[in-house]
Amino acid sequence: MTYSGGRMLLSSQREGQVSRFRVWVTILVPLLAILFQIYVPLFFPVLNFLEMPLLVVVYLALMRRNPVSGLLMGAAVGLAQDSWSKNPLGMFGITKTLVGYFAASVGMKLDVDNVLMRFILAYFFYVFHQAFYWVMERALLSHMSPFDITGWLGLGVLNALVGVGLFHFLDKLRVTA
Amino acid sequence: MESFLNRYKNITVLLLVIFAQLLLLAVQVKNEQDVRFIRVWAVTAVSPFARLVEGVRGAGFSFVRNYITLHDADAENRRLKADNAQLKLDKVFLENQLNTADRAKALELFQQQTKSKTIAATVISMGLGSSRKSVYLDRGSVAGVMREMAVLTPDGIVGKVTDVYPTASEVLLITDPTFAAGVVTGKGHVHGTLKGTGTPLCKVDFVAFEDKVEPGDLFYTSGDDRIFPRGLPVGVVKSVHPAQPYKEITLDPSGMSHGGLEDVLIVVEGVHQEIPDTPPPNQQVYLGPPLPPAAPVPGALTNPDGTPIPDPAHPTPGTEADRVHTLYQKSAEGSGVVLGGGPTGLTWTPKPPDFTKLPVDPRSANPGRGTPAAAPPPRKSTAPAPETKGTGSQELKPDAVRHANQAAGPGGGHNLP
């Protein structure tokens, strides 16, 4: 099975191959990502910028190319992340639901095996995730947090770089035909 | 429908999941007023529909009530008409109450102004009989009312008490044909006798042809009758017809001119007062202060009690009885008889006076006036003579004076005021 060719756009949906994962992978990987997001920054604050659950949701949605499964995966990961945080339930849930839906929708049109495409998508969805969460905070929680677009753009690059490596690692967990 | 759901399955599931999580958020999050968003959103979402439903319901009920079922309007119209009629009745009743209060106030004011002692009474019924003009008052002998007491209102005299019962009394009105009272005009001091005619108008008799009385002149009580104190208004001359030997004068009694007779005053102790020369404005009754006692003239004749006897040479105002009394007193001087000096009014001496040789009254010596006894009474009395009792008071106690006069007989020891 070959990955990433010279094209980024698929001529038809048939060209895109739906990746399959074992059940324990779809459960354990997001769970580990959430645990990483919760505990690792406690010991390594410098890694606080990483949004591992978001990267996992983007990867699984892109690879499975199913919007429903993508939004459900995003909702489940987001609600689990909310339950371990101080946020009201639904803040990360709604945001990651939209990310999973859009990622799955985009994955049907793009060659998600391309490294550059993965970098761009990881970067875009990180910025989208941060911006939408900022909107949710202002609208629902009345938290006047700053609109740090430059910080989001900069951290988006770092997350995209980490995401490309993570995606390469997660590719090894796919079920081969 | 199935194809529609299949076509939009992804977006439908997305919206459902987003909506479910929004509800979850709304349950947890509160707004600035510490109200959960789920409540705010629910109320905000429901209130427009509730307002719309309520508007439709209110408009429907209003339309049905105002345009479809009008039976309430008819019933309400009848009720309002009944209320209006009741309010009109209440208004009339209150106006009557106000008029009664005004009359009571006028009586109270008149009682305060007049020197005569009066008691208020209310007319309780009209007298029986078609020709007799009388009324019954709610005051009787228990209240101190006696026969022949004057009855009046602030506008004028009304009548006199003819019968007294314990709790009521009958008053003969001045319009009764049998009624009579001495009256005098205010302008020319022309004396006459008021008589009833059985009609609302009265007449004044015994006014000589040459006396000047004109329509509009006011008549007052003269006090000659010993019933009505002098100076009370009687009425206004309505018409004057020349006749021989007396004028035919029609009088409109002022005491009975203001509507029905309801509240009156009974004079229990009369005080004579001035007769005004000019009619008071608005026909109101003015009662002046009581007359001061006349100062004695040096050398003038006096009664045994010290009161002066009018000198014929310097005639003082008074009634004809005063002048007759003076003439007789002068005639009796030589015999030592003092008229009115004894307890019975006359003290006889062994030589009785000769009353056939009376002195000549200088006022009756005018040609064409006849004998002194036949002399006409003076038409003008500028000042009343003081009472011979020497009390200096102008008050008359009608019953006591009458009884004394009856006991003294003719020419009794009281000068007429």
Q: Which pLDDT tens digit goes with each residue over B129-140? A: 656 688 889 888
> Which residues of chain A make contact with B22, given a CB cutoff of 8 A?
90, 94
Q: Looking at the predicted structure, is the pLDDT value of residue B81 above 50?
A: yes
The count of C-alpha atoms lying within 13 angstroms of the C-alpha of B399, restricted to the half-sphere facing its C-beta, is 10
Tokens 């009694």 found at:
B253
Answer yes or no: is pLDDT of A25 > 70: yes
> B335 pLDDT exceeds 80?
no
Dist CA B199 CA B182 (whole Å) = 19
Grade residue A1 by pLDDT with cuts at 50, 70 and 90.
very low
Residue B396 — pLDDT band, cuts 50, 70, 90?
very low
B366 to B207, B234, B369, B370: CA distances (angstroms): 20, 33, 6, 8
- A6 to chain B nearest CA, in Å? 30
> Cα distance from B10 to chain A (closest Cα, Å)?
6
Give all domains of chain B, ordered by start, each with its CATH number: 2-62 (no CATH), 116-269 (2.40.10.340), 307-375+388-417 (no CATH)
- Quick one: closest CA in A to B36, which residue? A140
Q: Indicate the range of A135-139, B141-145, B275-279 predicted with least confidence.
A: B275-279
State yes or no: pLDDT of B404 exceeds 50. Answer: no
Distance from CA of B13 to the nearest CA of A (A): 7
**Cα separations (Å) of B355 from A125, B146, B314, B324?**
157, 38, 22, 11
pLDDT at B222 over 70: yes
Q: Quick one: what percent of chain B has pLDDT higher than 70?
A: 66
pLDDT of residue A173: 87
pLDDT at A161 over 70: yes
The pair phi, psi for residue A79, each rounded to 5°, is -65, -40
Q: Which amino acid is at A33?
A: A
Please tell me which of A83-87, A164-168, B96-100, B353-357 the model is most confident about, judged by mean pLDDT. Answer: A164-168
* pLDDT above 80 for A8: no
Q: Please judge whether A105 and B10 are an interchain contact, meaning their C-beta atoms are less than 8 angstroms apart.
A: yes
Interface touch A93/B32, C-beta < 8 Å: no
3-class SS letters over chain B? CHHHHHHCHHHHHHHHHHHHHHHHHHHHCECCCCCEHHHHHHHHHHHHHHHHHHHHHHHHHHHHHHHHCCHHHHHHHHHHHHHHHHHHHHHHHHHHHHHHHHHHHHHHHHHHHCCCEEEEEEEEEECCCCCCCEEEECCCHHHCCCCCCEEEECCEEEEEEEEECCCCEEEEECCCCCCEEEEEECCCCCEEEEEECCCCCEEEECCECCCCCCCCCEEEECCCCCCCCCCCEEEEEEEEECCCCECEEEEEEHHHCCCCCCEEEEEEEEECCCCCCCCCHHHCCCCCCCCCCCCCCCCCEECCCCCEECCCCCCCCCCHHHHHHHHHHHHHHHHCCCECCCCCCECCCCCCCCCCCCCCCHHHCCCCCCCCCCCCCCCCCCCCCCCCCCCCCCEECHHHHHHHHHHHCCCCCCCCC
pLDDT at B388 over 50: no
Q: Which of A13, A94, A142 to mutate to test the interface with B (most CBs of B within 10 A)?
A: A94
Tokens of A85: 């945080």
Cβ contact (<8 Å) for A101 and B29? no
Is the pLDDT score of B171 beyond 70? yes
Contacts of B385 (CB under 8 A, 6+ apart): B294, B310, B316, B317, B318, B322, B415, B416, B417
B252 pairs with which residues across the strands? B236
Shortest distance, CA A171 to any CA of chain B (angstroms): 26
Provide the CB-side half-sphere exposure for B283 (13 A, CA). Answer: 18
* Whether pLDDT at B127 is above 60: yes
| Cβ-Cβ contacts under 8 Å, A109 against chain B | none
Asked if A155 has any chain B CB less than 8 Å from its own CB, the reply is: no
CB of A73 within 8 Å of any CB in chain B?
no
Chain A residues whose CB is inside 8 A of the B9 CB are 68
Nearest chain B residue to A99, by CA? B14
Q: In a mutagenesis test of the A interface, which of B28, B32, B36, B41 is the best target, namely the one with the most A β-carbons within 10 Å?
A: B28
* Overall average pLDDT of the A20-45 stretch: 89
Say yes or no: A28 contacts chain B, CB-CB below 8 A.
Answer: no
Residue B374 has pLDDT above 80, yes or no: no
Give me the pLDDT at residue B412, please. Answer: 38
Question: Distances in Å between the alpha carbon of B75 and those of B65, B82, B87, B375?
Answer: 14, 11, 18, 84
Contact B21 A93 (CB under 8 A): yes
**Is A68's Cβ below 8 Å from some Cβ in B?**
yes
Look at residue B145 and tell me whether its pLDDT is greater than 70.
Answer: yes
Residues A175, A21 contacting (CB under 8 angstroms): yes
| Residue A111 banded pLDDT, cuts 50, 70, 90 | confident
Between residues B338 and B66, the one the model is more confident about: B66
Residues, chain B, total? Answer: 417
User: What average pLDDT score do residues A46-59 get?
Assistant: 92
Residues 6+ apart with CB under 8 A from B233: B155, B156, B157, B218, B219, B220, B254, B255, B283, B285
How high is the ipTM of this complex?
0.82
Which pLDDT value is given to residue A116?
Answer: 92
Which positions in chain B touch A72 (Cβ < 8 Å)?
13, 17
| Predicted confidence (pLDDT) at residue B287 exceeds the cutoff of 60 | no
Q: Are strands B202-205 and B169-173 parallel, antiparallel or unpaired?
A: unpaired
**Cα radius of gyration (chain A):** 16
A22 Cα to chain B: minimum distance (Å): 23
- If we measure between CA atoms, which residue out of B138, B226, B170 comes closest to residue B412? B226
pLDDT range class, residue A7, cuts 50, 70, 90? low
Contacts of B21 in chain A (CB under 8 A): 75, 78-79, 89-90, 93-94, 97
**Hey, are the CB atoms on A93 and B31 less than 8 Å from each other?**
no
Residue positions counted in chain A: 177
The values of phi and psi at residue A109, to 5°, are -105, -25
Q: Which of B288, B267, B291 is nearest to B276 (CA)?
A: B288
Q: A-chain residues within 8 Å CB-CB of B28?
A: 88-90
Mutate to test the interface with B, among A13, A57, A65, A68 (most CBs of B within 10 A): A68
Q: Which of B200, B208, B232, B228 has the alpha carbon at shortest distance from B218?
A: B232
CB atoms within 10 A of CB B387: 21
The answer to whether B340 and B307 have CB atoms below 8 angstroms apart is: no
What is the sign, positive or negative, of the torsion defined by CA atoms of B395, B401, B405, B407?
Answer: negative
Residue B310 has pLDDT above 60, yes or no: no
The pLDDT assigned to A10 comes to 60
- 3-state secondary structure string, chain A? CCCCCCCCECCCHHHCCCCCECHHHHHHHHHHHHHHHHHHHHHCHHHHHCCHHHHHHHHHHHHHCCHHHHHHHHHHHHHHHHHHCCCCCCHHHHHHHHHHHHHHHHHCCECCCCHHHHHHHHHHHHHHHHHHHHHHHHHHHCCCCCCCHHHHHHHHHHHHHHHHHHHHHHHCCECCC
The span from the CA of B215 to the CA of B247, in Å, is 12
Mean pLDDT for B105-120 is 82
Interface test with A, best of B5, B8, B21 (most A CBs within 10 A): B21
Q: Are strands B150-153 and B308-309 parallel, antiparallel or unpaired?
A: unpaired
Residues from chain B contacting residue A67 (CB–CB below 8 Å): 10, 13-14
Which pLDDT value is given to residue B372? 41
Chain A contacts in chain B segment 16-55 (CB below 8 A): 17-18, 21-22, 24-25, 28-29, 31-32, 37
pLDDT of A52 = 93
pTM of the prediction? 0.41
Return the closest-CA partner of residue B116 out of B240, B289, B280. Answer: B289
Q: What is the pLDDT of residue B41?
A: 83
Q: What is the mean pLDDT of chain A?
A: 86
Q: What is the largest CA-CA distance in chain A?
A: 50
* Averaged pLDDT of chain B: 75
Out of A118-127, B349-358, B408-417, give the one with best mean pLDDT.
A118-127
B113 pLDDT above the threshold of 50? yes
Tens digits of per-residue pLDDT, A82-101? 988 888 899 999 999 999 99
Residue with tokens 């430059």: A150
The residue type of A159 is N
pLDDT at A117: 92
Higher pLDDT, B245 or B173: B173
